[in-house]
Amino acid sequence: MPYRRPLFLAIVAASVFAPAVAAACGVSGPDGASLCALAGGGGDNTRGGATVSLGYQTSPRVVLQTGIGALLGGTFDAPNGRHTFAPGFLATAGASWRLFGGPEVDETTGEAVDKNPFVVVSGALSFLSSTTTRGNERAVGYNAFDLRGGVVVGVTLAERFRPYILGRTFGGPAFWRYEGAAKQGTDLYHVQVGGGASVALGKGWAVYAEGVPLGERGVSGGLSTSL
- Give pLDDT tens digits for 109-146: 767 788 899 999 999 998 889 999 999 999 999 998 88
**Residue 219's pLDDT band (boundaries 50, 70, 90)?**
confident
pLDDT score, position 29:
45
Which CATH topology does 7-97+125-148+171-226 take?
Porin (2.40.160)
Q: Kindly tell me the burial class for residue 27, based on how many C-beta atoms sit within 10 Å of its own C-beta (0-12, 13-18, 19 or more).
A: buried
Average pLDDT over residues 199-208: 86
Using CA atoms in the order 192, 196, 200, 201, what is the torsion angle rounded to 10 degrees? -110
Q: Which of 39-53, 148-162, 163-177, 181-195 has the lowest mean pLDDT?
A: 39-53
Q: Give 150's strand partners.
A: 122, 168
Q: 137-161 pLDDT, tens per residue?
A: 999 999 988 888 999 999 999 989 9
Average pLDDT over residues 205-212: 87
Q: 22-47 pLDDT, tens per residue?
A: 234 556 544 433 445 565 445 677 78
What's the sign of the alpha-carbon dihedral 202, 118, 121, 215? positive
**Phi/psi zone of residue 103: left (φ > 0), alpha (ψ -120 to 50 degrees), beta?**
beta
Contacts of 41 (CB under 8 A, 6+ apart): 79
The type of residue at 167 is G
Q: Which of 14-18, 33-37, 49-53, 135-139 has the lowest mean pLDDT?
A: 14-18
pLDDT score, position 186:
63
pLDDT score, position 43:
63
DSSP count for the chain of H helices, then E strands = 0, 14
**Phi/psi zone of residue 204: left (φ > 0), alpha (ψ -120 to 50 degrees), beta?**
left
pLDDT score, position 112:
72
pLDDT score, position 110:
67
